[in-house]
Amino acid sequence: MKETELRALVGRVQEQVALLASTAPSAAPSENDKRELTRRWDQLVQHLALGPAPDTRVCPSCSHTIMRAATLCGYCWMKLPEGGRHA
């Protein structure tokens, strides 16, 4: 991922948010401006390509969210059975 491209995309979202935020309270933002914000946001999200959320589970001892593959809880240090079931 190119950081300059990411910054440019964030900048374009920011511009559009600022434009919508500066609309007078009495005047609703135009459909075009709202669509443009959605479009720019989608471009940014696509660029980030975050993929699915990391595989996590809940610690049976302290209930913090931890990685499924963890063998020790990072919060309470309880030893965990390998590959816990889905929470």
Q: Does 87 bind Zn ion (CB under 5 A)?
A: no
Nearer to Zn ion, 11 or 83 (CB): 83
**Do residues 47 and 1 lie in contact, with contact meaning Cβ atoms separated by under 8 Å?**
yes
Nearer to Zn ion, 30 or 75 (CB): 75
- CA 30, 34, 39, 40 dihedral sign is positive
Q: φ, ψ for residue 6 (rounded to 5)?
A: -60, -45
Range 1-60, binding Zn ion (CB under 5 A): 59
Shortest Å, Cβ 55 to Zn ion: 17
- The residues of the shown chain that bind Zn ion, judged by CB under 5 A, are 59, 61-62, 73, 75-76, 78
